[in-house]
Amino acid sequence: MSRALSPDADETELLERARNGDSQAFGALVERYQRRVVGVAQAVVHNQDDAVELAQETFVRAYENLSKFESRSSFSTWLYRIAANLAIDFRRREGRHQVLRGEDAETEINRIPSPRGDSYQETARTELSQRINGALKELTSEHRAVILLREVEGLSYDEISDVLHVPRGTVMSRLHYARSRMREILKDLGGS
Amino acid sequence: MARCEDMRLLLGPFEDGELEAHEMQEVARHVVDCADCDGELADYRKFAVSLRSFATTPDLTGFRTAVIARINDLPVPFATRVRRYLTSFADGIGATFATGFAAAAVAVVTAVILTPYLRQGDLLAGLRRPPQVASSSQPTATQPPTQMAKNIVPMPVAPVVADAGGRSDNPLGGEVSPAMESSDDSGAIIDKLEAESPSVAVWNAPQSDTTVIWVPDQLH
């Protein structure tokens, strides 16, 4: 009964089919947004495994509530909002907003791809990564979430405001503080 | 320096392209002349690039499958079940109507195409029927030929054939065909009419007030 889906299938059509129970259509939407949804969750909880679980939960909740999605915002923003809400709740529940898990920095460093086999460059890259992770740790979770959503996930100020339920002005001030703080912490890297 | 303090608040949004057009121009003009602000802007760019390059994406192989599996395990809400049922029912009704309409259309077209042949078949079947089945009175001059044909039963008495010249001693202008005189076999007469009559043939049986008018399908 379900027709084949092209990779560029129209989002409205996919949503309509998903509303009528076509799981293949919803699967196409999952495929399309999974990376960024994981990214949004990760920006808030700072742990990859938790972020992946939260992203799965995000898509399940989205599927359950598809009938309530009225296209006032884009589907992607709606998804990010669900993901951020779940992640914020998770962080409150787990009390993990004070400290990053120790394993996170290690895990991320181990996954950094090496552009070349050059050991000097690899060492320098690892060191830079550690410094950046350290600087991020010094930010509060609110500031960290805003700067990651902006710089890594590429969300606009309005999207961040929508996703995190804070005014646009708050997004701007948090970003300004986070950037200034990062600059201060990484001052000695300025010339490199 | 107060101007720099003001501008620094706008450097991030400037980098992100989130300022109004006139603010973008203002910051751009300031950065050209201010090395400190230009340096700060460069640092923002550098940190942004570093953050993006060090951001790690977890392996998402099987993510979609896991989500779909969870979705398939969900109980379907009553309202959704009702909506899906109604949708499929509506689809079914639509298909039924479409099929019925198509069948009716085919029946009508078939009837329109076949009716003339069926009438002709009835006529021939009637002509081939044994003579005892029916008889009819002499047709009136006002009746059209087809109407007359319906009432005609073949009789084994002297047919009259009207040729192209129109010579005939028959009241209807036909000429007696010797081959058709005094035959008791009406089927044989009809076969001969079919095989030999070049044009309209009239076959009279005065004793029973019966006339057969033979009209071939195609007159040449």
* Closest CA relative to residue A163, chosen from A146, A180, A183, A176: A146
Q: Which of A45, A47, A132 to mutate to test the interface with B (most CBs of B within 10 A)?
A: A132
Supply the pLDDT for residue B214: 72
- What is the widest separation between alpha-carbon atoms in chain B? 136
Domain boundary pick from B30, B54, B78: B54
Query: Residue A65: inside a domain, yes or no?
Result: yes
Domain boundary among A33, A65, A97: A97
* Confidence band, pLDDT 50/70/90 cuts, at residue A35: very high
Judge whether A38 lies within some domain.
yes
Q: Does A13 share its domain with A60?
A: yes
Share of chain B above pLDDT 70, in %: 62
Residue B213's closest CA among B137, B153, B169, B168? B153
Residue B35 shares a structural domain with residue B114: no
A47 SS3 class: coil
What CATH number did the domain enclosing A152 receive? 1.10.10.10
Closest A-chain CA to B45: A151
Q: Give the one of B13, B39, B57 whose C-beta lies nearest to A172's C-beta.
A: B13
Same domain, B49 and B114: no
Residues B121 and B216 in one domain: yes
Task: Give A48's Cβ-side CA count (13 Å radius).
Answer: 16
Number of independent structural domains in chain B: 2
pLDDT in tens, B172-185: 444 444 444 444 56
Same domain (yes/no): B44, B151: no
What is the rounded CA–CA span in Å between residue B17 and residue B148? 95
- Tell me which residue range forms the domain holding B43: 2-54
Q: Is the pLDDT of residue A143 over 70?
A: yes
For residues A33 and A86, membership in a common domain is answered with: yes
Average pLDDT, chain A: 82
**A179 contacts on B by Cβ (under 8 Å):** 12, 44, 47
Residue B122: predicted pLDDT: 59
Task: Note whether residue A2 is domain-resident.
Answer: no
* A67 and A91 part of one domain: yes
Same domain, A93 and A11: yes
Which chain B residues have a beta carbon less than 8 Å from that of A152? 51-52, 55
Using alpha carbons only, give the angle B1, A167, A165 rounded to the nearest 5 degrees.
140
Range of the domain at A57: 7-97
| Same domain (yes/no): B117, B40 | no
- The overall average pLDDT reported for chain B is 71
Kindly report the pTM of this predicted structure: 0.58
Q: Are residues A12 and A86 in the same domain?
A: yes
Q: How confident is the model at residue B116 (pLDDT cuts 50, 70, 90)?
A: confident
Residue A102, pLDDT score: 44
| pLDDT of residue B85 exceeding 90 | no
Are A90 and A131 in the same domain? no
Residues B24 and B112 in one domain: no
Domain presence at residue A1 = no
Of B44, B56, B70, the CB nearest to A60: B70
Contacts of residue B12 in chain A, CB cutoff 8 Å?
A: 172, 175-176, 179
Express each pLDDT in A84-125 by its tens digit.
999 999 988 877 444 444 444 444 434 444 444 567 777 777
Residues 148-177 of A with CB under 8 A from B: 148, 150-152, 156-157, 172, 175-176
Q: Do B52 and A152 touch (CB under 8 A)?
A: yes
**Mean pLDDT calculated for residue range A21-46:** 91
Least Cα separation, residue B68 to chain A (angstroms) = 7
Whole-number pLDDT of residue B137: 46
Inspect the interface and report whether the beta carbons of A38 and B60 lie closer than 8 Å. Answer: yes
- Render pLDDT for B142-160 as a digit per residue (tens, 0 to 9): 444 444 444 444 444 445 5
Contacts of A133 (CB under 8 A, 6+ apart): A104, A105, A108, A109, B54
Q: Are residues B218 and B119 in the same domain?
A: yes
The structural domain count of chain A equals 2
What's the whole-number mean pLDDT along residues A169-188? 91
Residue B136 has pLDDT above 50, yes or no: no
Q: Which of A43, A65, A97 is the last residue of a domain?
A: A97
Q: Is residue A192 part of a domain?
A: no
A147–B contact, CB cutoff 8 A: yes
Read off the CATH number of the domain in which A24 is found.
1.10.1740.10
pLDDT at position B2 over 60 = no
> In terms of domains, do A46 and A123 share one?
no
Is residue B153 one of the residues assigned to a domain?
Answer: yes
